[in-house]
Copies of this chain bind each other. A is one copy, B any other.
């Protein structure tokens, strides 16, 4: 059985751990979001891919949810002592090792997909059935437009990381732009995996800045419409609030209500030009199943809290079974 999972970082990783447990014999291809990627201090940083690598490779900090276990911050304290901007993005020493290797390989001319394959030979050595692909080898970045009275026009765009890490998502997101979208193409293997899959899972990651960018890469949406595999999506909004992160700060900017059914309808049914067949929502949102059904999606209502891989595996298995029955 071949499964493709579209995923962001922290929530995506937990979801993958569950899917692996639900389908222990499947070949799983994870298509990771790269629109959060950023170059800082000359290093190319891919937060979502790294979070997935570290989590799957048992190297992540489970409490923090991102970054490496047993992390230290000596390099960062030096960068701060030199007043090297930006100081708002903390790079751990262990994490930085990954960025150094990646940057070296990218500068040597290797595409991100090959670099990711090289890095995962370390992290996924014990997971031969798992493959991690970046959504694209091209540079694509989510920029958020915020109000700023200091600049002409009163608005400016900041990189997603600056919005999220430095500004703590406090300013209202007025607009969201995927810079580089027009020229980005899916990384080798991405659309092939989608077209050849037996099952496609859309993780309960941020619909605006994690799953959204993946769907915007030219060719990926078409592959999702073409594939014979059922596409099952999972709501990250439970009872009107995101389980993790800050989708509630970004959904308004794309005109979508902070509501599981609204997100499902935003993804849309494949029969109506969208990307999903099934939309799994938490029991807290049982009341809006009809609104999902109206949009041509098959709703599944179950407990979506990713307490541990076992609980996650259980709801994935249930949603797939009942949604594709």
Q: Give the interface of A toward B (CB within 8 A).
A: 41-43, 72, 74-79, 81-82, 84, 93-94, 96-98, 100-101, 103-104, 107, 119, 122
Q: Are B93 and A79 closer than 8 Å at their CB atoms?
A: no
Q: Which residues of B contact A119 (CB under 8 A)?
A: 82
Known: A93-B93, A101-B82. A42 touches B75 (CB 8 A): no
Give Cα A43–Cα B96 distance, bound, in whole angstroms: 13
Which residue of B has the minimal Cβ distance to A41?
Answer: B100
Q: Which residues of B contact A84 (CB under 8 A)?
A: 97, 100-101, 104
Q: Given known contacts A41-B104, A77-B97, what 17 new A-B pairs fall within 8 Å (CB)?
A: A41-B100, A41-B101, A42-B103, A42-B104, A42-B107, A43-B100, A74-B94, A75-B93, A75-B97, A78-B94, A78-B97, A78-B98, A82-B98, A82-B122, A84-B100, A84-B104, A96-B96
Give Cα A78–Cα B94 distance, bound, in whole angstroms: 6
Give Cα A77–Cα B97 distance, bound, in whole angstroms: 8
Known: A107-B42, A119-B82, A122-B81. A74 touches B101 (CB 8 A): no
- Taking the closest CB of chain B, its distance from the CB of A282, in whole angstroms, is 38
Q: Are B100 and A72 closer than 8 Å at their CB atoms?
A: no
Q: Are A79 and B101 closer than 8 Å at their CB atoms?
A: yes
